[in-house]
Copies of this chain bind each other. A is one copy, B any other.
Amino acid sequence: MKKKSYHHGDLAAALLNAAEAELTENGIERFSLRAVAKRAGVSHGAPAHHFSDVKGLLTALAAKGYERLLDQQSKREAEKDGDARAKLVASGLGYLEFAMANPQLFHLMFNSSIPDRDDERFFNVALSVFDRLVDNTQAVNGKSPYSDEASMVDLMASWSLVHGLAELIVSGRAERPLNLSQLSQEDREAVLSAILGRVNQSVE
């Protein structure tokens, strides 16, 4: 890390860190590129040399978020390898865990029309999250969602439920019905797993 030279050394990364800090502190609504530059100790025009505009910066940040989301899901899945359905639920728990730990980032990634979906890196990493769901769905019901319509319906139901629940939690709307903030982590996970388990139940 350089001391105080004219050139920063790794300003792009520093800006991303500053951007995430600003995002978590102020939320997307009051996000300011100039504040990010100031936090990184650099003039307000500097970011333009690393990110085309504020949309570019936030797209890169969102892509980083997707990577961490993937990690979180992988970690959860790894604990439960064996039963395919348990793995699917674990993957969903990882999704929820990420959302609860990074509400503002989650909001940026999904709830805003800010990130540029055509950005290559963003597109690919978002696709990876989807592919993981494709694999897990196929492992559960034995048919590829791409070739089997009913399997795709299952996939969309899983996806919708997990994502919707994350939205309701992050936005605070799930708090009154579920009281999540007052539960122990164990109880909280039990409740969330129960909800996730209500979709695509196998009828035996």
Contact = CB atoms under 8 A, between A and B. Distances in A.
Contacts of A177: 145, 152, 155-156
Contact of A161 (B114, B155, B164): B164
A64 interface: no
From A27, A28, A167, A203, residue with most partner B Cβ within 10 Å: A167
Interface stretch (A12-20, A40-48, A74-82, A190-198): A190-198
Range of interface residues on A (Cβ < 8 Å):
35 or more
Given A199-B199, A200-B198, A165 B171 contact: no
A85 to B, nearest CB: 14
A173 to B, nearest CB: 8
Contact of A164 (B159, B174, B204): B159
Contacts of A174: 156
Contacts of A164: 159-167
Complex copy number for this chain: 2
A168 interface: yes
A132 to B, nearest CB: 14
Contacts of A203: 201, 203-204
Given A159-B164, A177-B145, A177-B155, A171 B201 contact: no
Contacts of A83: none
Interface in A35-65: none
Interface in A9-36: 27-29
A183 interface: no
A111 interface: yes
A153 B195 contact: yes
A161 B159 CA distance: 8
Task: Across the A-B interface, give the 10 residue pairs with the lowest CB-CB distance, nearest first.
Answer: A164-B164, A160-B164, A157-B198, A160-B165, A111-B111, A163-B164, A161-B161, A153-B194, A160-B161, A156-B195
